[in-house]
Amino acid sequence: MTAPTTATRIPGYVAGTWNIDPVHSEVGFSVRHMMVSKVRGRFTTFSGQLVTGEDPVSSSVTAEIDLASINTGQEQRDAHIRSADFFEVEKYPTMTYRSTGVRNEGGEFIVDGELTLKGVTRNVPLTLELNGFGPDPYGGTRAGFTATAEINRRDFGVNFNAALETGGAVVADKVTIHLEIEAVLAA
């Protein structure tokens, strides 16, 4: 008898092509503000496709995020983030992610990939949690994933900042990315 594959150890695992369901997914972030708290935000318009391989490490993902769709709950701040000080959305309207590989490190999946923001591409690994696979009430199949990463915004040319009189900066360089993804198996 052969040893079970990684896929057979993941309950309900389904290999196939999946489309991200933006209604039931969230692309969010948090960044320290004024050295004392965190501002959280999300992007409301995005799309993507996942391909789960027979062996999970042969899986892939591509995604595109509309940077103009940023929502931090404060329109004036959102407008500033869309400006040339931060995202410069008129010149760089989207942020993209393309995986370059998946690895299993001690039972934890890492998606290696390239994030492109403001015309700059950097390797950004995502720590992945498989939340489950199963049927939906409409005759389809759904999968859920959580992924997290940390980036330095300056690595992507997002350099604006203002110094505080007490020292430190208004916006931290480290940004935490948090993804809650629900995907639908393509017919």
Contacts of 85 (CB under 8 A, 6+ apart): 160
Alpha-carbon span 73 to 101, nearest angstrom: 35
Class of domain 16-185: mainly beta
At residue 2, the pLDDT reads: 38
At residue 179, the pLDDT reads: 98
Alpha-carbon span 50 to 65, nearest angstrom: 15
At residue 143, the pLDDT reads: 96
Q: Are 37 and 66 in contact (CB under 8 A)?
A: no
- Both tokens of residue 113? 């990939």
Please give the radius of gyration of the chain, using alpha carbons only, rounded to the nearest integer: 18
At residue 51, the pLDDT reads: 97
Q: Are 26 and 41 in contact (CB under 8 A)?
A: no
Name which of 41, 60, 44, 43 is nearest 52 in CA terms: 60
Q: Residue ranges of the chain with pLDDT lower than 50?
A: 1-5, 8, 163-164, 168
Alpha-carbon span 15 to 69, nearest angstrom: 31
CB-based burial, 19-57: b 16+ in 10 Å, e otherwise: ebbbeebebebbbbbeeeeebebbbeebebebebeeebe
At residue 74, the 3 state secondary structure works out as coil
User: In the chain, where are the structural domains located?
Assistant: 16-185
Q: CA separation (Å) from 143 to 14, 41, 42, 149?
A: 9, 24, 21, 20
